[in-house]
Chains A and B, each alone.
Chain A
Amino acid sequence: MSGEPCAIIGVGQTHHKSKRLDVSLAGLLREAASRALTDAGLDWPDIDAVVLGTAPDAFEGVMMPELYLADALGAAGKPIMRVHTAGSVGGSTGIVAAHLIHARRHRRVLAVAFEKQSEGNAQWGLAGGKSGGMGAGGIFAPWIRSYIRRSGAPEHIGWQVAVKDRLNALKNPYAHLKIADISVEKVRESFMLWDPLHFLESCPSSDGACAVVLTDEAGGRDAAARGNPPAWVAATAMRSEPTSFPGRDPVRPQAGVDCAHDLYRAAGITNPLAEIDVAELYVPFSWYEPMWLEGHDITGPGDGWKLVESGETEIGGSFPVNPSGGVLSSNPIGASGMLRFAEAALQVRGRAGEHQVDGARTALGHAYGGGAQYFAMWIVRSTLG
């Protein structure tokens, strides 16, 4: 962390569902933003600037939605900017907002990210309107096959992650998927969507939004004095690389390795597995939990799946991953990264409710996007410095 300390004093999200036909696009964002403002003890006029994030415009068919949504987010007469880094955008949006605080450009920033998948069709959007779209899972499936072969992981690891995250989602009132009778057998017997990925190893399509209110050191201390414990941003990092080039390792992208190392260094973390209490990782397909544990050097190579298999990534384990239920349980694409960042903040604020990890003081929020080529990460802590 450098510059002005940044505190997260408000978090809000919608109830995520496959179709939120009850709200307009603006209404969806306002649902999350209003909750974040209420949580922060602030109102629209208190906000100095708004940062908006969403995935490709083709998903909803609203070009430059930041123009239409500025009024809805109380941004008339204020700076508003839009961030876009594919599926990682929710995380990047939070980071851009944090930088506005670090740089002392603004004192109170509202960051909002959303996707209303029911307005369009993400597979159509990703296929550029053409037939034979691969879907995100179709791109990732060969890399997952490569990881499985490389690491020697048994096939039940993917099923186990799928079950864990759906059980966690039962403890999160905002989660989309609520599969009370989820089991390894049920995942294994669900149809093969993108070999080797079964249907229940894949994320849903969701409508949803997430918002966070960020402020400076004085704002954070003021919130704390009012009984609203802030999450302090200890470090942020972003990296990217091209989708394809000869010799690229998409299983362990260099941009993801560099991003993680940059993050740990900035946060003063030398042993992430021991020093991070809980992680919200962007896991849209079950295998990405062990792939990112290893790909971000949280564990050594080949050890990520063993941590999963031993149950240590469950709530109550030594390194809980996605206590919220994660992307596997709710996937409003543009918001999914911010949900990871926001859930990390909720954990260190002690505000995660039923899915709270006891004693969480340092948390990792993580997002990736595109062809596993965009990375955004932050470390938040319950204390400053």
Chain B
Amino acid sequence: MPVSAETKYGPSVTTNTVEFPYRRSLGPVVGGFVAALARGQITGVRSTGVRGGGRVLCPPLEYDPDTGAATDGELVDVGPEGTVRSWTWVAAPDARHPLDRPFAFALIQLDGADTAMVHAVDAGGEDALRAGLRVTARFRAQPKGRTDDLAYFVPEGTETTDPDVVDAAAAAAGAAAAGVSTEPVQTMEFWSSLTYKEAVSPATARYARSMLAGTLLGQKCPTCAKVFVPPRDFCSIDGIRLDEGHDLALPDRGVITNFTIVTPVPYPGQKETEPFVRVSVLLDDVEALMGLQPVVDIPNEEVRVGMRVEAVWLPESERNAEEFGNRGWGSTTGAISGWRATGEPDLPVERYIDRVF
């Protein structure tokens, strides 16, 4: 968290971004729909059942959305022309929108289909939109086997100047020339990026300030006398509010009460490649426990319950509070690089091994 952003008017705010390349299994029906898009062909599927059976659903589904009954799974050609049934104008598109210029999201009923699909219409201006407008599809000139190979729609008769898209006939010719597979597309990558802002609680802000100054900070409940690290401004045991007056400076020496050696698995954003240790440290003099702490200069095989350790603080100029969020379990990252052995004799295992939380 950017501590410098804190003002006397309120807590500071952290900005977090999480990103992941999800993989979508498309299934037999949508997979076939996507495969056909590469050939400039839009498809639907016929519903079955006594209620609403025989309708052509586009986009196609494995099921009739009204009844849950399975569709027959046979894709039928629809479009590429269709009719706008309803629409809304997006005047200021952002990076997440399908077009970088003002456009409409519209319900488009393709010719030959009984249902409408939501898609983008590149209409030039809002004035061009109306219910009943005839539109036609534009496809990616270089299809990728994704649902967005169907790029957007334009009003019928529009000349397209966008070099990245083609009409249905050109897409079909291009696919034939390139020998594009007609097999259903099995999976599609879905890049997800989420950025959110979070107001940092006063307790976390005090913890961050203290850590940047080189002091571990906890909070002691006056009722149960338990010490929480970091401060929470409440006691989850007694259900009462705590405040700054209950804050407690903590010693930075203690004993390892338990540990995990994690064999890292690879995932996007994972930087660990070798087995690493996380320890629980019970601090001296106070009954305060720090969980999930890294160690410094202790080989994995030497980490043990009862080992005496002390915090290794980063030089003051290198400390930062980026990892101190509201939901931390006592993260020390950015202020303490880890815990190293003091060389003192071990303490008895039996006294400490159950002190994990």
Of A73, A195, A246, A251, the residue contacting B354 (CB under 8 A) is A251
**A156: CB under 8 A from chain B?**
no
> Which chain B residue lies CB-closest to A124?
B267
**B110: CB under 8 A from chain A?**
no
B190 near A61 with CB under 8 A, answer yes
Q: Which residues of chain B are near A22, meaning CB under 8 Å?
A: 25, 27-28, 186
**B353: CB under 8 A from chain A?**
yes
- 14 A/B residue pairs, CB under 8 Å, sorted by A: A24-B26, A30-B63, A45-B68, A71-B66, A72-B62, A74-B63, A75-B68, A119-B24, A121-B268, A133-B264, A133-B267, A142-B356, A145-B258, A149-B349
Task: Give CA–CA (A28, B26) in the complex, Å.
Answer: 11
Task: Give CA–CA (A77, B61) in the complex, Å.
Answer: 18
Min distance, Cβ B5 to any Cβ of chain A, angstroms:
21
**Given A119-B25, A121-B267, A123-B267: A134 and B260 interface contact (C-beta under 8 Å):** yes
Task: Give CA–CA (A121, B18) in the complex, Å.
Answer: 13
Q: Which residues of chain B are near A242, meaning CB under 8 Å?
A: 236
Name which of B25, B67, B353, B354 has the most chain A CB atoms within 10 A of its CB.
B25
**A81: CB under 8 A from chain B?**
no
Q: Which residues of chain B are near A67, meaning CB under 8 Å?
A: none
Q: Which residues of chain A are near B30, meaning CB under 8 Å?
A: 24
> Which chain A residue lies CB-closest to B279?
A142
Q: Which residues of chain B are near A30, meaning CB under 8 Å?
A: 62-63, 70
Of A71, A129, A149, the residue contacting B65 (CB under 8 A) is A71
A245 near B267 with CB under 8 A, answer no
B22 near A61 with CB under 8 A, answer yes
**A224: CB under 8 A from chain B?**
no
Q: Which residues of chain A are near B27, meaning CB under 8 Å?
A: 22-24, 26-27
Q: Which residues of chain A are near B190, meaning CB under 8 Å?
A: 61
**B292: CB under 8 A from chain A?**
yes
Q: Which residues of chain B are near A121, meaning CB under 8 Å?
A: 20, 267-268
Of B70, B226, B237, B278, the residue contacting A134 (CB under 8 A) is B278
Considering only residues 257-309 of chain B, those with a C-beta below 8 Å from chain A are 258-265, 267-272, 275-276, 278, 280, 287-289, 291-292, 305
Given contacts A71-B63, A74-B63, 5 further A-B contacts (CB under 8 A): A27-B62, A58-B18, A121-B267, A143-B356, A192-B263
B 13-44 binary contact with A (CB < 8 Å = 1; else 0): 00001111011111111100000000000000
Min distance, Cβ B91 to any Cβ of chain A, angstroms:
25
Min distance, Cβ A144 to any Cβ of chain B, angstroms:
10
A21 near B186 with CB under 8 A, answer yes
A73 near B272 with CB under 8 A, answer no
A44 near B68 with CB under 8 A, answer yes
A138 near B22 with CB under 8 A, answer no
**A20: CB under 8 A from chain B?**
yes
**A383: CB under 8 A from chain B?**
no
Q: Which residues of chain B are near A76, meaning CB under 8 Å?
A: 65-68
B25 near A194 with CB under 8 A, answer no
Considering only residues 156-197 of chain A, those with a C-beta below 8 Å from chain B are 191-195
**B168: CB under 8 A from chain A?**
no
**B192: CB under 8 A from chain A?**
yes
A71 near B23 with CB under 8 A, answer no
Query: What are the 7 A-B residue pairs with the smallest beta carbon separation, nearest first?
Result: A74-B68, A24-B27, A44-B68, A129-B18, A71-B65, A142-B258, A246-B226
B 330-350 binary contact with A (CB < 8 Å = 1; else 0): 000000000000000000011
Q: Which residues of chain A are near B258, meaning CB under 8 Å?
A: 142-143, 145-146
**B211: CB under 8 A from chain A?**
no
A246 near B357 with CB under 8 A, answer yes
Min distance, Cβ B283 to any Cβ of chain A, angstroms:
11
**A314: CB under 8 A from chain B?**
no
Task: Give CA–CA (A74, B237) in the complex, Å.
Answer: 44
Q: Which residues of chain B are near A1, meaning CB under 8 Å?
A: none
B354 near A150 with CB under 8 A, answer yes
Min distance, Cβ B34 to any Cβ of chain A, angstroms:
11
